[in-house]
Structure 1
Amino acid sequence: MKFLENKVNDINLAYIGGGSRGWAWNLMGDLALDEEISGTVSLYDIDHKAAADNKKIGNQLFKREEAKSDWTFEVSDSLKDVLKDTDFVIISILPGTFEEMESDVHAPEEYGIYQSVGDSVGPGGLVRALRTIPMYVEIAEAIKEFAPEAWVINYTNPMSLCTRTLYEIFPEIKAFGCCHEVFGTQELLAEMLYDLEGIKNIQRDEIKVNVKGINHFTWLDQAAYQDKDLFPLYEKFVDKYYETGFGEENEDYFSSQERVKFDLFKRYGLIAAAGDRHLAEFCPKNWYLKNPDQVEKWKFALTPVNWRKNDKAEKLEKSRALIKGEEEIELKASGEEGIRQIKAILGLEEFVTNVNLPNQGQIKGLPEGAVVETNALFSRNSVKPVTAGKLPDNIQALIERHVLNQETILKAALNKDKQLAFSAFINDPLVDIDLEQAEKLFNEMLKNTEEYLPGWEI
């Protein structure tokens, strides 16, 4: 890397999962909008054609006059090649296909288990983890051998277990997991200030928060705007919108009207800082996910995998149009912080944001080494977690069950231990069915993903 006049040129960025038709395009747009860094993005994907398509799309984008920086996109044929001489590694992969995810999400419905996302916890999150962990073992071993000094940014779910696997295999790795769910809660608090106080045009990072928990089940025990404590105002906001929900009626499978978030505040007194679709999956089944009618009552949505398949088909068509020049990537900020994080690690700024890292005491009372989500200070060649304090006992009891389950899942995946995996399966709060049914479902789901479980006795 060369530092010149407050700009950094010649950065090598490796993108594992570089054939992505969503995250990759967002990255391209964010890079094009930034004036301070330039370099090369090497794309690696098991779908080589998808990566090659993105190489064309990316290089076309940076020929446009609106691009404020200079990046070149290349395709690598192996992990070794993509990691050679790299400074940063981005991992954003789909573990398996949507066929496996269809089983993850919808097979449990035959047993009365409904999942709104199915990628982090619940039966779907567990089986997804079992096929993802071997992939992350391979990636971690490759980083250890070919790019041990590189900084690694993970976007793949299940976030906690992906990040945890990287550290289990390569303890000295410089990795962190990024998720935008807390950002959405900061934006909600900004909307609250406008709704109740008439304060306009607040940027989400002006809302200062203390973050503690695990990915997709994160909590705030402090929130402030300037010198104003937002908790008393949030209590009024919850009371105002508890029954009706806040915002427009759900427009798609990803929106909600915050009623789960409001209910958790009434139960526990802290602000749950993730989307309702994720939060519901960490709670006992009968709270929010007993059946589709109950989901509708709480004003969020079950996201069907068929929608994801259709979305993929639409993105394939868009990819063809981008390559032919019939469409262009719209240059607008994605809302992610990856580029800003890279710039801070390069020494161009310092800032604090929420990330997923092994617990070094930033959350007192949770196991050391388990991946937790708190704020961290980003500065030159440094990402230091900010001490968040202890969770209230009643919330910790909910979170600790998942933390310990995740440790069990990791051990089961590394040892190909079906019985250990099943013990984690039945310990999940959504798997509220009798043991015989649970075992039948578990075996069915493993059978549906066995291609990604070599060496398992299924």
Structure 2
Amino acid sequence: MSHVHRDDSSSSVNAEAAAGKALDSEDVTIAYVGGGSRQWVPNLVQDLALSSFDGEVRLYDVNVEAAERNAEFGNRVQDDEDATAEWTYTATGDLDAALDGADVVLLSTQYDPTETFVHDLDIPESYGIYGAVSATIGPGGIFRAMRTIPLYRRFAAAIREHCPDAWVFNFTNPVHFVTRALYDEYPGINAVGMCHEVLHARDKLAAFANDHLGMDADRADVSANVKGINHFTWIDEAYVDGVDLWPLLDDLAHGEEGTRTYEPADLEDGSPFTDPWQVSWELYRNFGLLPFAGDRHIVEYATWFLQGGKEGLNRWGVKRTGSDFRAKHWTPAESEQTTDVEAWLSGDRAFDLESSGEVLLDVLGALAGGEEFVTNVNLPNRGQVEGLESGAVVETNALVSASEIRPLSAGGFPRPVRSLLSTHVDTIETVVAAARDGDVDHAFQAFLLDPQVRTLQTEDAREMFAELVDSQEAYLDDWALDDADVLAAADSY
């Protein structure tokens, strides 16, 4: 398949920029909403300790005990001999106090998956929908959005009151729903949705260049024209140290690398995070653009690969992240995550200060007037992606410089790919609109739009929707459940 390169896309920066307050690297106040996090906060603590910034981190969480534990860990890390920065950590259960005058706000929260996430996975499966992750789209992703959006509207309102000019970085899934909701509540917010899927994809391209072209490249050497929506991004050009990578990618897609098949037994003992890119290669062969996120996420947007249940999904090398994994991950003693604050604090596990590999500190450095930096971000569409709705949150590269994050103009899509994306944009926009006044019937319309749900008869979709509501009603108290016709009509509610 032929490929037409766009002209110098990396220099096209005409999309509207997000512009916020200037950062003083010697005195930064960070408010962390979700400060009891067992993964993100410990990673941030280490990155900050190794940074060129000094300041204060306020850890806010409804679970104050968890935030206090992270604050103790953060202050302990400051004593590490390799720490280069000076930070102090405090914990609080008062959101307003955490946000007051903050320069940077980080958002990273999650409800108990044993009461929510497991139902997002198991209930659709009982209707024949074998979602791979169920976290950002599909019936599970939509319900995660319905649980999360009302809370984040309150966060946005509090930011407007207490730190209206702060830089706000959202790490909470579903990133596109949540970031869009922040802007829907507070249009003047300087909010950026962050995700590391594209970073991992850049690592993959660097590895291809090293393995097949004899190069010595890493993520920083890769330039790719990123465009789409979170977890359903695409590229139409890629370079490594100025070398056009597209001929190699085309060869790989049509050769042994891109045409592997798998049996369920091949994946039985493997990690669900292993990604052989077979879905990506298949989509490239059909559409001429290369998806640029993990296959486990892509299959939930390009839903052909979910057909046939476990065998159909495994055939492409994708292993489901099941409800048992999600429940286990919530229990520290059984979790496979790499951070363990309690064990580090008690001395039961040796602690080595090391960078997480995330890009947040690079972004903050550029915002403070340091070296300009290009990375992928999620922002409202102000022209950076052609053909997708204005205002919808899209993902592209952006140039980060002093007090500014400016999306790079990425062009548009061939009609078939644009159609795939537009369906999901319509779902996201409909849920966000429904959440303004808790209109459950309006949210159900978005539910019916989803390609996973469209494999069902409407009556079955209604029953599944009502069953999902029933399973997690305590987390949907911002929605007018008693006024919903869809619930009254469903036998299972």
TM-score by length of structure 2 reads: 0.88
The secondary structure found in structure 2 opposite 1:281 is coil
Q: Secondary structure at the match of 2:115?
A: helix
Listed one character per residue, the Cα deviations across residues 120-158 of structure 1 (whole Å, up to 9, x for unaligned) are: 100000011001001101100000000001100000000
Q: CA offsets per residue over residues 171-197 of structure 1, 9 Å max, x none? A: 111110111111111111111112222
Give yes or no for contact 2:385–2:412 (8 Å, CA) kept in 1.
yes
- Given candidates 227, 246, 258, the residue that maps to 2:242 is 227
Extract structure 1 runs of 4+ deviating beyond 4 A.
none
Could you say what the CA RMSD is over the residues aligned between the two structures, in angstroms?
1.8
User: Contact 1:280–1:289 (CA<8 Å) still a contact in 2?
Assistant: no
Q: Hey, what does 1:336 align to over in structure 2?
A: 358
Matched, 1:273 2:295: no
2:218 equivalent to 1:195: no
Where 2:308 maps in the other structure, the secondary structure is coil
Match of residue 305, structure 1, among 312, 317, 323: 323
Alignment of 1:40-439 (within 5 A): 40-200=56-216, 202-240=217-255, 241-244=257-260, 251-284=270-303, 286-314=304-332, 318-431=340-453, 432-439=455-462
Q: What is the deviation of 1:312?
A: 2.8
- CA distance in 1: counterparts of 2:279 and 2:306, whole angstroms: 8
Specify the SS of the correspondent of 2:386: coil
**Does the CA contact (< 8 Å) of 1:283 and 1:430 recur in 2?**
no
Paired AA for residue 265 in structure 1: Y
Shift of 1:7: 8.2
Report deviation, 1:287: 3.0
- Structure 1 range deviating more: 92-101 or 143-152: 92-101
Unaligned runs of 5+ in 1: none
Residues 296 and 319 in structure 2, CA contact (< 8 A), matched pair in contact too: yes
- TM-score, normalised on structure 1? 0.94
Q: Counterparts of 1:394 and 1:343 in 2: how far apart (Å)?
A: 39
> Counterpart of 2:332 in 1: which secondary structure?
helix
Q: How many residues align?
A: 449
Instruction: Give aligned-pair identity as a percent.
Output: 38
> Does the CA contact (< 8 Å) of 2:114 and 2:326 recur in 1?
yes
Question: Structure 1 pair 324/95, CA: closer, same or farther in 2 (3 Å)?
Answer: same
In 2: Cα distance, 1:328 partner to 1:340 partner:
27
Q: Which amino acid is the alignment partner of residue 159 of structure 1?
A: V
Letter in 1 for 2:71: K
After superposition, the Cα gap between the structure-2 partners of 1:288 and 1:205, relative to the gap in structure 1 and judged at 3 Å, is farther
Three-state SS of the structure 2 residue aligned to 1:20 is coil
- Alpha-carbon distance between aligned partners in 2 of 1:96 and 1:144, rounded to the nearest angstrom: 28
Does 1 or 2 have the higher relative contact order (CA < 8 Å, sep 6+)? Answer: 2
Task: Using the TM superposition, give the Cα deviation of residue 397 of structure 1 relative to its aligned residue in structure 2, in angstroms.
Answer: 0.3
**Residue matched to 2:39:** 22
Distance in 2 (alpha carbons) for counterparts of 1:115 and 1:316: 23
Query: How many angstroms does 1:30 deviate by?
Result: 1.1
Specify the alignment match of 2:8 in structure 1.
none
One-letter code aligned to 1:203: D
